[in-house]
Structure formats: C-alpha cells, structure tokens
A and B are shown apart, each in its own frame.
Chain A
Amino acid sequence: MRKDTDFFELTREPLDVGAITRRVVPATCGATVVLDGYVRQWTSGKETLHLIYEAFEPMALAEMQKLSVGARGQFEIAHIGIIHRLGKLEIGETSVVIAVAAPHRKAAFAACEWLIRELKRSVPIWKKEFYADGSAWADGENVIGAE
C-alpha cells in the first residue's frame, strides 16, 4: 500500500515546510493539505520556554507508515509525507509536518486531520516541556511526572 513517493522521517534539523510540501505535488493531484505543527508558547496560562522531543525511532517510523496505510483505506488520497523533528525546539519552531496530496481537497483535509490525531495517539514520540520553574513530560492535554 505504501507508495514510493511517500516519506516518513525523523530529523534533528529545522523543518522547511515549503520544501517538504513540494515533495508531494504529483500531476494527478489538485490539492495538497499541509499541517505545520509548531511549539506553542502559552498553554492554559503557563509559559513554555522550550521543548525537547524524543522518539523510539525505528518504531515511530514503522507506526507512521502504518498510519499511511490506514489513511489510504479511508480517504481518496494520492501521497503522504510525515516528518517529525526531535531534540530541542524553541518557541514557534515546527515540530511536525504532515503533507497530503489528493485529486480533490476534501479528502486531503480529512486525511490530514485523521493523520495528526492518530500520530498523537500511537506514534512513540514524547515531548518534555521546560518552564521557568521546572519541566514535565506532556501527556496529551494532561501533564504527568511534573518536577
């Protein structure tokens, strides 16, 4: 089910959203929907100074590929690219890019939303938030292990 033009990557380098997006523009498609997920400064009134992401890298890449199979089973889409950044990220820096190309935009929007929701649920990547008064591993919307 995986297409050669798909890509699933982890990197410690800054993400160039425009360049990533142009990797999924086949001639048969009319729309690419791109999610640019970046580091939020304020969460529920608490200020984040920076983040560190880590991953169980081989499993994370395998899970991303599984997501592409799941997306193709539900949506009329042509190509998928997912890149997640690891290491230390400053406020506003891009942490994840999901690009989905499709013949028509509706399927691309739906697939992109489904992919980010499932990535947050199943891909083994973790985010540690650093604040002025300490740090904590994030647990979705909740925070566990606060120091």
Chain B
Amino acid sequence: MSENYCNNINVKILFFGAARDAVGVEEASFSTASPASVFTVKKAVFARYETLSGFAKSLMVAVNREYATDETAIENQDEIAFLPPVSGG
C-alpha cells in the first residue's frame, strides 16, 4: 500500500428500516480520513444521501453491533449501522 493511503480507513455502512427505504440501499462503503469518529462518518453519509436528512435527530448508530455515540472512534473495516427508532414488540 502506498504512503498516500496510510491515513485512510474503509468502513461498511448498514441501513435498516425507514433509513434503508430513504437511501435505497442496504449497505455502502465509505473511505474516510483517520482518525475518524461516528460523528465524521455520519457527516459523510448524510452528505452522500440527502434523503437521510429527516433522520438526523432520530438515528441511532451501532459500531460493530454495539450502540455508539458521536464520539466513538472508528477503525479500519468497522461496520457502522444506521438504526432508525426501533419498534419491535
């Protein structure tokens, strides 16, 4: 791998429920500069998918299947799930 790519990380984004319907895909790949957090990944995802804007306040995020906050650090190959308000039961 060349020097130019050393500071980039690749992550997988998953969309569920109403968020998946809004973006039209179940998953997407993103490349972002490191160090990255949930906040920076969210910014990139919202920029690519304008139809997600209605979910800005309600979406929860899980990193590698654990609920995360905006401050949670993101590593290369992390799986980041965008979760609309849950409604099981």
In the bound assembly, the distance between CA atoms of A121 and B14 in angstroms comes to 20
Identify whether the interface residues of B are mostly helix, strand, loop, or mixed: mixed
Please give the number of chain A residues whose Cβ is less than 8 angstroms from any Cβ of chain B in the complex. 29
Q: How far is the CB of A98 from chain B (nearest CB, A)?
A: 9
Select A126's contact among B16, B58, B67, B81, beta carbons within 8 Å: B16
Given contacts A56-B14, A56-B83, contact A137 B21 (CB under 8 A): yes
**A139 and B62 form a contact (CB under 8 A):** no
Residues of A within 8 A of B84 (CB): 126, 137, 139, 144-145
In which size bucket is the chain B interface? 20 to 34
Given contacts A126-B18, A144-B18, contact A59 B89 (CB under 8 A): no
Q: Give 23 CB contacts A-B under 8 Å.
A: A56-B16, A56-B62, A56-B65, A59-B62, A59-B65, A59-B81, A84-B88, A96-B89, A120-B88, A122-B86, A123-B86, A123-B88, A124-B16, A124-B81, A124-B88, A125-B86, A126-B18, A127-B87, A128-B17, A137-B84, A144-B58, A144-B85, A145-B54
Q: Using a CB–CB distance below 8 Å, which chain A residues touch chain B?
A: 37, 53-56, 58-60, 62, 84, 95-96, 116, 119-128, 137-140, 144-145
